[in-house]
Amino acid sequence: MSEAHDVAWFRQHAHELVDWIADYYEGLEGRKVCAEVEPGYLPPRLPKNAPEEAEEWSQVMEDVEEHVMPGITHWQSPKFYGYFPANVSYPAILGEMLSATFNTIGFSWTACPAQTELETVVLDWLARAMELPECFHASNPNGGGVIQGTASEAVLVALLAARAKIKGKWEANNGTRGTPESTMFRNGGTSLSGENFPAHLLVAYTSDQAHSAVQKACMVAGIEHWRKVTTAKENGYAMQAADLEQAIQEDLGEGRIPFFVCATVGTTSSCAVDPLDSLGCVLRKHDLYGHVDAAYAGSAMVCPEFRIHYRGIDMWHSLASNCHKWMLTNFDCTAMWTQDSKSILDALSLTPEFLRNKASDSGEVRDYKDWQVPLGRRFRSLKLWFVMRSFGLSGLRSHIRNHVALARKFEGYVMADKRFEIAAESRFGLVCFRLRGNGADITNRLNRRLLDALNSSGEMFLTHTVLDGLWVLRVAFGAVKTQGRHVDESWGLIAKMAGEILEQELSDA
């Protein structure tokens, strides 16, 4: 038997690995942020086949240093500003260790009672910390929270729940043959009577700034009609109720069936916030299922000053926020709440004979396998529980507010330099800016060059988007180790490289 089964082996190397992890975090600032490798760099460095005999742990770690580390982009670097943050903390790492130790596959309450019940408790803790309405708490028989892997999974679950809900209405109506038309279920004027459920007529709605996860969910679920409601800069790139209503009316006029709306609080491109209250009125008017994707910005709702963005949330059926983005909890950990668990269960509940058990049959427990697409699930609530207890709500609020303050500091640098402009209203920890250019082509070329130069330097990493046809550079704050001095240093590099690019542009003219 391999010595890797020996607890003494584990104790020794686990201590060594914890020391390695601690050293890694202490030395992060000295590492280049981006990996400097070419596609396909790794296979030639490693053997073609797995080793026949056990290898020494020291050799494994040597290969990590020599071959893996060159290809790591350091997301926890204090100068990683790309995408949205994916921060982590030491308590979360410890929680992940304990989850791996238990290695429970908690698809049902019986499979691991503590895993199921801790998840319910912790999601209620977070709901109360954000002051979500009681309808989203587990005390509501049709409400409560569940941890999904990603916000994309949450969107898919919500979409499937919405489809199950509209299908249930059709089935109820289809069973009332001979009922006068005035009492039959109608969806905004389109009758849902008939022999076969008209799934090909269903329409889902979101804004043109929403994450591509909504489109992918429609692809997976077989929803043929997906409408992107156009947004405008003058409205902060937020979806407007009047525009949603117009899109719905157009589809009704074509005989299609609106059934699902996904709003966003904190879009990826510019952190736009869709107005949940006015959009919610449209939902209620047409009896549509509504889901709120707050993947990034949702964590900020632990701070009272940001909760205005959740005004009207009680009119929405579900919402999701990635704790693995901005709440010190490592990937994967998406908190999803619903006030309509029945529709989720109608869409996803399935219990084959080999999974039947007394507790599940009693109806007195939650089986989270029925709240998600996969069967198996990890003990993810442990790390979130560890984080909430180790930092407390006051610590989480300070964490969020610190990054918002850093974003305002960076925004001040941009606004003070006439070569640059703010491209969209800054919200939460994101700043969208760009170099000014004479016309779209020049503007886009300048900003492409600036982005390439900054990322190639290894000193920082940021990403871009396009708004109204113009390139925009995004700086998203969220790394745990980012401090004010890093903002100063990063802006200094941006300003310097911008000057060099503009000078080169003039010389090439």
pLDDT of 508: 75
pLDDT of 195: 58
Residue 101, beta-bridge partner list: none
| pLDDT for residue 19 is more than 90 | yes
| pLDDT 10s digits, 395-447 | 999 999 999 999 999 999 999 999 999 999 999 999 999 999 989 999 999 99
pLDDT of 184: 33
Instruction: Please compute the mean of the pLDDT values over residues 342-363 and round it to a whole number.
Output: 88
What residues have CB less than 8 Å from 265, skipping those under 6 apart?
273, 274, 276, 292, 293, 294, 297, 298, 309, 310
Contact 275, 248 (CB under 8 A): no
| pLDDT for residue 240 is more than 60 | yes
Q: For 53-67, 125-139, 157-171, 173-187, which range has the lowest pLDDT when averaged over its residues?
A: 173-187
471 membership: H or E segment, kind and range: strand 470-476
Lookup: tokens for 418: 């006439």
Instruction: Please compute the mean of the pLDDT values over residues 190-196 and round it to a whole number.
Output: 53
Query: Rounded distance, CA 170 to CA 133, Å?
Result: 30
* Whole-structure pTM value: 0.92
Instruction: Please compute the mean of the pLDDT values over residues 71-93 and round it to a whole number.
Output: 95
Contact 256, 202 (CB under 8 A): yes
pLDDT of 420: 97
Most confidently predicted of 82-91, 185-194, 356-365: 82-91
What confidence category does residue 450 fall into, taking pLDDT thresholds of 50, 70 and 90? very high
